Amino acid sequence: MSKQERENEQKLSRTAQEQIARQVERLCRHLDEPEAVVREFREEMTGNLTLSVEDLLAAGLPEVEAVRQALERFGEPQRVTEELESLYRIRKNYANWLLKTALVCGVLGMLVFGSFFAWNKGLHLIAVKQVNHELFADVEAGKVGTEITPEIKAKLQAAVDDNLSLRSASAVIRDMKRTVPFTYHYPANSPLDTTGGVQRVDGLFFYTFYTGAMIPIGDQGRGLDVSLQQWLFSSGYFMLGYVFVFAYWVLFAAWGILNVYSRRPITVFWALMIILFNALGYYAYLKLRQLSIFRPALAKS
């Protein structure tokens, strides 16, 4: 007997198909889920029962007995529905958790990258420019002589205290052709480096960076040398953004594959599409699934 003949013999009669359909509808009546879920459940259960009957037919049972045993094995509608509802609920909650966590990771990743570039490329200079502008104005007004005045100290202290971007300030009035250690520091108890400036900090997510300005004082050949130590995001902070984006990528891919599998068994092709192209791969699956020309191919997956 050929393969085609065996397939024809095992094809269910209309009566058997109607019995399966009635059993599935009894299950669906008890299923308290959205219409889309009920529709998927109906397709899945019909397929499972049909396969079960075909297996029994292949084992040599008459069709009537095969249908009876398949339905009997399946169980009482109420009990089966309760178990299936529980499974659907678990899968739905798990899928929702995956999607929400993926979106949170994606947003955090974008925030990390955005803040890194926005801060390190410009925002951190706002306070520095403001302080330097005020000091230039004081020098132009003749308020700076041979020593750091209390007014200059007060401005540097206020700048550090009022701006989270500034960690410390150092200043000295010196000959513009000769480098000397800074004579004033704020905070006063800050540890100093070999140049007389406040020591740098290198942390996991932040580090400090100096921005200096030499403001000439008249024609004396002297100037007000100011060094402001600023907080910047480090490469570790940037890598944190990669971690969040990678977590988003993995979790969204898992969510997409789970959703595709819930519709019908997923193929390797669509799994790779979702893993490699992520949201675009999942979007492509949804769009192609809507086109009738692709439905036969997707139905086999």
Q: Which residue has the higher pLDDT, 20 or 293?
A: 20
Whether 92 has a pLDDT exceeding 80, the answer reads: no
Element (H, E) at 63: helix 63-74
7 pLDDT above the threshold of 50 = no
Tens of pLDDT, residue by residue over 234-247, are: 999 999 999 999 99
Domain with residue 199: its CATH number is 3.30.450
> Is the same domain home to 134 and 227?
yes
> Which of the pair, 247 or 24, is modelled with greater confidence?
247
Question: Residues 135, 58: one domain?
Answer: no
- State whether 56 and 155 are in the same domain: no
Q: Please name the helix (run of DSSP H) or strand (run of DSSP E) that holds residue 247, with its range, or none.
A: helix 235-263
CA-based torsion, 51, 53, 59, 63: positive or negative: negative
Q: What does the pLDDT look like over 95-147, one tens digit per residue?
A: 889 999 999 999 999 999 999 999 999 898 899 999 999 999 988 888 888 88
Contact 278, 245 (CB under 8 A): no
User: How do residues 258-286 score in pLDDT, each as one tens digit?
Assistant: 878 766 667 788 788 888 988 888 888 88
Final residue belonging to a domain, choices 184, 219, 237: 237
Q: Is residue 93 part of a domain?
A: no
Residue 33: pLDDT band (50, 70, 90) is low
**Boundary residue ending a domain (212, 237, 262):** 237
Report whether pLDDT(294) > 90. no
* Domain finish residue from 75, 90, 109: 75
Q: Are 132 and 232 in the same domain?
A: yes
Q: Report how many domains make up the chain.
A: 2
- pLDDT the model gives residue 154: 93
Q: What is the mean pLDDT of residues 218-222?
A: 80
| Percentage of residues in the chain having pLDDT higher than 90 | 33
Average pLDDT of the segment spanning 193-200: 82
pLDDT given for residue 79 in this prediction? 62
95-113 as b/e, with b when 16 or more CB fall inside 10 Å?
beebbebbeebbebbeebb
Same domain, 70 and 130: no
pLDDT of residue 295: 45
Q: What is the mean pLDDT of the chain?
A: 83
DSSP 198: B
In this structure, which amino acid lies at residue 255?
A: W
Answer yes or no: do 61 and 150 share one domain. no
At 237 the pLDDT is 96
Within a domain: 265 = no
Binning pLDDT at 50, 70 and 90, where does residue 249 land?
very high
User: Residue 298 has what pLDDT?
Assistant: 46
Pairwise CA distance, residues 210 & 229, whole Å: 5
Is there a domain that residue 149 lies in?
yes
In a domain? residue 195: yes
The pLDDT of residue 219: 76
Domain-embedded: residue 177: yes
Whether 301 has a pLDDT exceeding 50, the answer reads no
pLDDT at 293 over 50: no
> Domain residues for 34?
1-75
Smallest CA-to-CA distance from 112 within 207, 203, 240 is with 240
Q: Which residue has the tokens 């999942």?
A: 282
In a domain, 89, yes or no: no
Determine the pLDDT at residue 12.
84
Do 6 and 71 have their domain in common? yes
Cα 271 to Cα 277: distance, rounded to the nearest angstrom? 10
Residue 270 in any domain: the answer is no
Instruction: For residue 31, tell me if it sits in a domain.
Output: yes
For residue 19, pLDDT beyond 60: yes
> Looking at the predicted structure, is the pLDDT value of residue 81 above 80?
no
Residues 130 and 33 in one domain: no
| pTM greater than the 0.85 cutoff | no
Output phi, psi for 31, to 5 deg.
-85, 115
Same domain membership, residue 144 and residue 60: no
128 and 44 assigned to the same domain: no
| Angstrom distance (rounded) from CA 113 to CA 119 | 10
